[in-house]
Amino acid sequence: MMGDLLFWHRLQFGFTSTFHYIFPQLTMGLALVILVLKARALRGDEACNTAARFWIRIFGLSFAVGVVTGIPLEFQFGTNWARFSTHAGGVIGQTLGMEGMFAFFLESTFLGLLVWGERKLGPRRHFLAALALFAGSWLSGYFIIATNAFMQHPVGYQVAADGTLQLADFWAFLFNPWAVVQYLHNMMGAVVTGAFAVAAVGAFWTLRGVHLDQAALNLKTGVCIGLLASLLVAFPTGDLQGKRVARHQQPTLAAMEGRWHSGPYAELNLIGQPNVEGRKLDNPVPLPGVLSFIAYGSFSSNVKGLDEFPRDQWPTNLEFLYYGFHIMAGLGTLFIGLMGLAAAFLAAGRLQRTRALLWALMLAFPFPFIANSAGWVVAEFGRQPWLVYGLMRTADGTSHLVHPGQTVFTSLGFAGLYFILGLLFLFLVSREVSHGPVGHA
């Protein structure tokens, strides 16, 4: 394994991108929450302004870590995936270039003004700064998803005389139908993360018996947005995403469910362990017909099993893909349940007195991070063995002249640096949470 260059390139990119995405999902989710709070503050609700001020401080910390951990990803296209960059740069260079030009400049200009500039700007322009950060961070998300969508489902390209992929139709590439669906699903996932964080802080303060007014406001905001986003992430966005995979990545769909044999009334397994050598799922707990229904809208539809595809088209790391999907879908279902329950108690005016539910809300905040990461595991492991689906294999995209002595060195460097970065972030955020709301501008 030590000598396996592909393994180390994948591990390094997988680790750095998974760690990075902890932060943007929180900032993109909080950007929406902050925008809602600032909009209500503009109409004179001072409590919302206080809540916004607290979340802007968390946002600033998370944004800073997101910025610095995002830089390596841009570089790694060149450093670790040189042959991929040569092969596909003529297409994906567009969206990566646009992200810098249209999203990063916008975000970087207004970040300092949002975090430190409330007094300097006044309420109206401070709201506009929140709007700019929301627009910038959500735009940035789109460009990255559009880049990834090309790798999942390439459109708008042509193969040049030298074999590289080149742009043929800019608009077809930019508005890849895969990108639109994946974007909506992904952004709803980010809002779930943000809303759960807001609800968790509200629950924590309530349980502690401190800052009760702000705690109630955070609970209400978090639960309302959280319920809405938890529903939207499953339906229609998750459902549409699943149907796209069913249509365009059939081996992936089979692998996500540990399905080797084709047939109608395909079952969705709540749990079970894929046994790749035995070509079966051990200890399954099936719901018959549900997979057929999810994939094609009818219980009797035939869902192909992996046996129908040559082994070299099966997703590599099939087990990881299988668990990624089940963790994502399982947690997503629990989110709807928890937020639905909390919303019912909120509507009845009993949420603040129901301590068990407050404990659950408080302890739930890490799980959307896990669900979002698991979702990206499904997307990225599901794309394997392809780097650009159907066009370029992952093994052919590496920087082949970089040797494992270098990638192991840099991977260890990232492991150490990011461990410290993670500790510092937790330390600073927990300080903010225990300080509580910020009363003045």
Partner 1 sequence: MEMLWFWLVSVMVAIYAVMDGFDFGAGTLHLFVARTEAERREVLAAIGPLWDGNEVWLLAAGGAMFLAFPRLLASGFSGFYLAMFMVIWSLILRGIAIEFRSHVRDTMWRAFWDVVFACASALLPILLGAALGNVVRGVPLDASGYFQIPLFTHFGVGNPVGILDWYTVLMGVLVLATLTAHGALFLAWKTDGALHRRCLRAAGVLWPLVAVLALGATWATAAVSPAVYHNLPGAPLAWVGLALFLGGLGAVFTGLRGGRPLFAFLGSGAFIIGILAATAGCVWPVMLPSTLDPHASLTAYNASAGATSLRAGMGWWFIGFPIALVYFGYLFRIHRGKVRAPEEGEGY
| Binding stretches for partner 1 (CB under 8 A) | 60-61, 64-65, 67-69, 71-72, 74-75, 77-80, 82-86, 88-94, 96-102, 104-106, 108-109, 111-113, 116-117, 119-120, 158, 160, 164, 166-168, 170, 399-403, 406, 409-410, 413, 417, 421, 424, 428, 431, 438
Q: Contact, 75 vs 388, CB < 8 A? A: no
Single-letter code of the amino acid located at 435: H
Q: Up-side HSE of residue 357: CA atoms within 13 Å toward CB? A: 19
Minimal CA–CA distance to 90: which of 173, 164, 172?
Answer: 164
Residue with smaller CB distance to partner 1, 340 or 404: 404
Minimum Å gap between C-beta 381 and partner 1 is 24
Of the candidates 382, 393, 386, which has an alpha carbon nearest to the alpha carbon of residue 255?
Answer: 382
Q: Are 295 and 253 in contact (CB under 8 A)?
A: yes
Minimum Å gap between C-beta 399 and partner 1 is 4
Residue 364: other Cβ atoms inside 10 A: 21
Q: Which residues contact 189 (CB under 8 A, 6 or more apart)?
A: 25, 233, 368, 371, 372, 375
Q: How far is the CB of 440 from partner 1 (least distance, A)?
A: 10
Report angle CA 141, 147, 148 to the nearest 5 degrees.
90
CB of 282 to partner 1, least distance (A): 42
Of the candidates 358, 339, 53, 368, the residue with the CA atom closest to the CA atom of residue 214: 53
* Closer CB to partner 1, 42 or 429, in the complex: 429
Closest CA to 215 of 226, 223, 227, 204: 204
In the complex, the smallest distance separating the C-beta of residue 93 from partner 1, rounded to whole angstroms, is 3
Nearer to partner 1, 264 or 413 (CB): 413
Nearest to partner 1 of 57, 220 (CB atom): 57
**Other CB atoms within 10 Å distance of the CB of residue 233:** 28
CB 3 within 8 A of CB 109: no
169: tokens are 């139709």
**DSSP conformation class of 104:** I
| Residue with Cβ nearer partner 1 (5 or 321) | 5
Closer to partner 1 by Cβ: residue 275 or 410: 410
Compute the least distance from the CB of residue 107 to partner 1, in Å. 8
Least distance (Å) between residue 337 CB and partner 1? 37
CB 318 within 8 Å of CB 276 = yes
Looking at the Cβ atoms of 77 and 389, the one nearer to partner 1 is 77
Closer of 109 and 300 to partner 1 (Cβ): 109
In the complex, least distance from residue 104 CB atom to partner 1, rounded to whole angstroms: 4
Strands 268-269 and 286-287 come out as: antiparallel
User: Whole-number minimum distance, CB 325 to partner 1, in Å?
Assistant: 32
Q: Which is nearer to partner 1, 172 or 285 (CB)?
A: 172
* Closer CB to partner 1, 72 or 242, in the complex: 72
The minimum distance between CB 13 and partner 1, in angstroms, equals: 13
CA angle 312, 315, 318 (to 5 degrees): 125
Question: How many other CB atoms are found less than 10 A from the CB of residue 43?
Answer: 7
Residue type, 242: G
Q: How far is the CB of 329 from partner 1 (least distance, A)?
A: 34
DSSP assignment of 218-253:
HHHHHHHHHHHHHHHHHTTHHHHHHHHHHHH-HHHH
Cα angle 270-276-279, degrees, rounded to a multiple of 5? 85
The nearer residue to partner 1, 69 or 372, going by C-beta atoms, is 69
CA–CA gap between residue 211 and residue 50 (Å, rounded):
11
